[in-house]
Amino acid sequence: MIETGIPRLDDFLGGGIPTGKTLLYYIEPGVEGDVFGMQTLYHNLEKGYRGLFITSTTAPEILRESFKELGFDMSRFGDNFAIVDAYSGIIGSTSDERYVIEDPSNPSHIDEVISAAIEEFSGGTITFGSLSTIIDMVGEEKALEYIIKWNKYALIYDTVGIYNFTAWPYSPETLEKIKNEIFNAVIKVGGISKRVVYGQYYGILRVDWTEKVEKAILFKLVRPGGIKAFIPKILVTGPFNAGKSTFVHALSTRAVSVDRLGTTVALDHGYVEHKGFSADIFGTPGQERFDPIIKLLGGEALGVFLIVDSTRPEDFPRAVKMLEMTSRFGLPYVIVANKQDIKGALSPEEIGKMLNVHEEAPVVPAVTTRKEGVFEAFEILIDMVTGG
């Protein structure tokens, strides 16, 4: 298996992509999806595989800068990384790359150079930066013929073929073959939009080596960092003085609180980056007068952390009430049993019984002042939100 390096996607694909198989990122116009192929290539170079990138939309030196902006330094891979330059010939420029398509107007020459490069880079990954541009260069019918040939080469030479494809308005026949016939797996990269794109996602359209997972993951592009699975809103709630603000700050890469005399009077807001995932988290005040905020945020959140003080069972009825305000939305939740370092703290098992929550609801022991348990709780909730 060769991994995609895209958060959660390898889990959905049964561990990754078997050698000899091909995977296409089917990208909606207007969505910044070209990074998917770049990230998959870089991920496998880091793991010691050889990698080839076919550029047809930008000069090799600009491509290397684009990799660097993402935090992907390609210079350290030496001869394990090479570029097929299908761009310089378009603008009449010379090229020092190992593989150069000097006459992009000649379809046979394009096929000859790419086929030879695949053969020489056997056992690694071959990434097409823009299959759409190749189609524009040689025509739809000839491009499909070559793709089928290149995919056979990938099988023969134990290589994984990775393609970025922007779904411009090609003929229905071409789009149908690309989506459903030519590739072993197709990953849809799309946008959620109303007039403008305000959210982006990826999910499996088809895969022929494992059972298809009917799940889409929201993502954002971070520079540097690449593709991050993105949870746009997670709610942190719980009784007064349970440790919500401390939890938000312990978990967050950056966070801000609005408080007065040490008590949160508005919201805690934090941003988390952890193990390929990013999330915005919002902590609510614990006093009852702020309950409308919980109801408002609960309708927009994708998951909930309920923070409780393990030494104050008298606050548990209030915690249950706060959880009920969000449970009507059917949100996954994790209970964080805070202040486990204090004498007399109840165990997570005891807390679960006293809260009378579902027996499978996770109760995570934590000491938020020392960041103990906070990332464990985050990983559990992310698994619940993304179906991991």
Give the CATH number, domain containing residue 346.
3.40.50.300
Q: Are 143 and 204 contained in the same domain? A: yes
Instruction: Tell me: do 21 and 36 sit in the same domain.
Output: yes
User: Which residue type is seen at 191?
Assistant: G
Same domain, 110 and 135: yes
Same domain, 269 and 140: no
Residues 205 and 308 in one domain: no
Q: Are residues 293 and 345 in the same domain?
A: yes
Single residue among 163, 196, 224 that ends a domain in this structure: 224
Does 116 share its domain with 185? Answer: yes
Q: Fill in the DSSP letter of residue 71.
A: T
Contact 129, 162 (CB under 8 A): no
Same domain, 205 and 273: no
Q: Which of 166, 197, 224 is the last residue of a domain?
A: 224
Among the candidates 205, 224, 243, a domain finishes at: 224
Residue 329 falls within a domain, yes or no?
A: yes
**Segment (H or E) for 385:** helix 374-386
pLDDT by residue for the chain (388 residues), tens digit each?
Answer: 999 999 999 999 999 999 999 999 999 998 888 999 999 999 999 999 999 999 999 999 999 999 999 999 999 999 999 999 999 999 999 999 999 999 998 999 999 999 999 999 888 999 999 999 999 999 999 999 999 999 999 999 999 999 999 999 999 999 999 999 999 999 999 886 544 445 788 999 999 999 998 888 889 899 999 999 888 889 999 999 999 999 999 999 887 766 544 554 457 889 998 888 888 899 887 667 666 767 666 666 888 999 999 999 999 999 999 888 887 778 889 999 999 999 999 999 999 999 987 777 899 999 999 999 999 999 999 888 876 5
Strands 51-55 and 81-85, by their bridges, are parallel
Q: What is the pLDDT of residue 255?
A: 74
Question: How far is 303 from 300, CA to CA, in rounded Å?
Answer: 9
* 262 and 219 in a common domain: no
Strands 333-338 and 303-309, how do they pair? parallel
Query: Is residue 99 included in any domain, yes or no?
Result: yes
Query: What per-residue confidence (pLDDT) applies to 197?
Result: 43
- Determine the pLDDT at residue 383: 85
Torsion angle (degrees, nearest 10) of CA 236, 237, 241, 245: 20
Nearest 5°: the CA angle 360, 366, 372 is 125
CA-to-CA distance for 162 and 185, rounded, in angstroms? Answer: 10
pLDDT confidence of residue 196: 44
What's the pLDDT at 193?
A: 53
Tell me, yes or no, whether 84 and 128 share the same domain: yes
Tally of domains in the chain: 2
Query: Across the chain, where does the E strand assignment appear?
Result: 22-27, 51-55, 81-85, 99-100, 125-128, 160-166, 185-194, 196-207, 216-222, 226-237, 254-260, 263-274, 277-283, 303-309, 333-338, 363-365
135 shares its domain with 255: no
Q: Verify cis geometry, omega within 30 degrees of 0, for the bond prior to 224.
A: yes
Q: What is the DSSP letter of 136?
A: H
Residue 238 in any domain: the answer is yes
Residue 266 sits in the same domain as residue 371: yes
Q: Which domain holds residue 125?
A: 9-224
Judge whether 246 lies within some domain. yes
Q: Does residue 78 fall inside a structural domain?
A: yes
